Structure 1
Amino acid sequence: MSNELFNHNHTQNKFSADCEKCFGLCCVALPYAKSADFAFNKDGGTPCQNLNADYRCSIHKNLRNNGLRGCTVYDCFGAGQKISQVTYNGKSWRDDPAIAEEMFNILPIMQQLHEMLYYLNEALGLEEAQPIYTDLQEAMAKTEQLTDQAPTFLLDLYVPTHRALVNDLLLQTSELVRKKVNKNMEHSKYGKKIKRKDLMGANLRGANLRGTNLRGVLLIAADLREADMRMTDLIGADFRDADLSGANLEGSIFLTQAQLNSAKGNRKTKIPSSLSIPSHWLH
């Protein structure tokens, strides 16, 4: 088995936001409306009122207390610094206003590509995915190649076509990981039998969800306290205000920091080693 299979953690940082190397793109390019997640309206292409001249957020450590919870659950997966430092070679939208609109339009495209890279990189670090390791490597190389293209190419790129290819491999990875779970789990109250996509507010406290496919499931405000979510596929699951206190998510796959940031939890919540306990869980 290739040693590369287990060396994904050191490259994972490539697919995490590094605001020090970004020109505050998410703080300018993205629009949002006043809501429970945002304290005020902001148009796309307009700098946030909290964006400093050095492209840093003036209230970064207090976003939640200032009514900007939505900012804490956005993740560009490293797309911001890629656009800033590679695509535009260190030239910012402030340096050259003529490129601003193009730069902002590229952000969601690059974000999607980097999100795919994040998941592919995780898959390459899973021993269970060895049977499709070569396919995963090829998909990652192809995706990386796309991120290195010129702005005009990126703007014309039809992302869903590439996403379908990547998603198929991620589905295969999910099956390979979850099939290790004891087949008796299928007969538990929840186990692998969850078919609903809408579990908003569901009482799943203490549920045995080990090895379950929760891809894209709405778990908004669900009670998942003490739930067993080991080896669970969580790609795209919506954890906004879900209570993960005491839940075990160790060994779950395709979980992101943004998903954790959107949820509630505590010191007893067990999460993958590559992620961090959100600060608001500790208060």
Structure 2
Amino acid sequence: MRGRPDLRAECADCFGLCCVVPAFSASADFAIDKDAGQPCPNLGQDFRCGIHTRLRQSGFRGCTVYDCFGAGQKVSQVTFGGRDWRRAPDTAKRMREVFPVMRDLHELLWYLTEALTLPAARPIRDDLGAALEETERLTLGGPDALAALDVEAHRRKVNVLLLRAGELARAEAGAGRRRKDHRGAVLIGARLKGADLRGASLRGAQLIGADLRGADLRGADLIGADLRGADLRGADLTGSVFLVQSQLDAAKGDATTRLPPSLAHPAHW
């Protein structure tokens, strides 16, 4: 987010952790199989991707929609003090364990930072601020502390606040109308062209391939919504809550798609 560059990936300061830690299988998103902890064959000795500018054309679409929220550089430069897993192989195992934990914490930091900007969330601002400080503190733990952290328990605690913030924002955006509740709904391929979804809850909704052309999503809570292949051409997402760049990267849109100021139109739209 603006003012939080630490929550945006800076690959030049990372040891290619997203190219090593996750596993993936040959599919529409990945051209090959790769085991967890195995470096991708496209990862260079300088920890840069050798096909970064042509990932989609090379069959690695999944890589283009992944976001570590800055966790990669945090683990590489702070947690492990700049020691990389190639020159210090004793760090490799612990680094692989810590990276997913840090990624989850940084994702929570993104959501909490956004929640604190929502005018409607003013009644719980102190609680949000305290949760942000606690999450920041956890990210500064050593490798052993991070590996042992019950990050899911922390996520559940923070999610109570994020849910409340989303409800407050939706109430403001949907004032005077019945707000739709599609939390966790299966809306794969749904025909929602031109739909009025102002202030709707779409938390965790499966919107894969949904037709959302021209839909009004202002003030909608989109945390965790699966937008892979969703058609957002002409949709209005200004003021939507908890939308992240990777969701847009996985969707389809064009220059007429209206976005929150903290996000950008993907290059492939």
TM tier relative to shorter chain: over 0.9
Q: What is the aligned counterpart of 2:48 among 56, 59, 68?
A: 56
Query: Match of 2:216, as an amino acid?
Result: D
Tell me what 2:3 maps to. Answer: 10
Secondary structure of the equivalent of 2:177? helix
Alignment partners' CA distance in 2, 1:25 and 1:165: 27
Alignment partners' CA distance in 1, 2:98 and 2:228: 27
Aligned-residue offset at 1:101 = 1.2
Tell me what 1:227 maps to. Answer: 215
Indicate whether 1:79 and 2:40 are aligned: no
Tell me what 1:117 maps to. Answer: 109
Query: Match of 1:164, as an amino acid?
Result: R
- Kindly tell me the number of residue pairs found equivalent between the two proteins: 269
Alignment partners' CA distance in 2, 1:199 and 1:129: 28
Provide closer, same or farther for how the CA distance between residues 166 and 225 of structure 1 changes in structure 2, counting only shifts above 3 A.
same
Tell me what 1:95 maps to. Answer: 87
Seq. identity, % = 52
Provide closer, same or farther for how the CA distance between residues 131 and 66 of structure 1 changes in structure 2, counting only shifts above 3 A.
same
Tell me what 2:192 maps to. Answer: 204
Query: Please, which runs of 5 or more residues in structure 1 have no aligned partner?
Result: 1-7
Aligned-residue offset at 1:9 = 2.1
Aligned-residue offset at 1:194 = 3.4
Query: Match of 2:13, as an amino acid?
Result: K
Bigger shift: residues 80-89 or 173-182:
173-182
More helix by share: 1
Tell me what 2:240 maps to. Answer: 252
CA contact (8 A) 1:185 1:192 kept: no
Secondary structure of the equivalent of 2:173? coil
Aligned-residue offset at 1:181 = 2.9
Q: What is the aligned counterpart of 1:104 among 92, 96, 102?
A: 96
Provide closer, same or farther for how the CA distance between residues 182 and 86 of structure 1 changes in structure 2, counting only shifts above 3 A.
closer
Query: Please, which runs of 5 or more residues in structure 2 have no aligned partner?
Result: none
Offset from partner CA, 1:128-187 (integer Å, 9 cap, x none): 11111111111001001101001111111111111111101101101111111344431x
Q: What is the aligned counterpart of 1:149 among 134, 138, 141?
A: 141
Alignment partners' CA distance in 1, 2:62 and 2:173: 35
Tell me what 1:26 maps to. Answer: 18
Query: Match of 2:3, as an amino acid?
Result: H
Query: Match of 1:10, as an amino acid?
Result: G
Q: What is the aligned counterpart of 2:161 among 166, 169, 173?
A: 169
Tell me what 1:271 maps to. Answer: 259
Tell me what 1:42 maps to. Answer: 34
Q: Which runs of 4+ in 1 moved over 6 A?
A: none
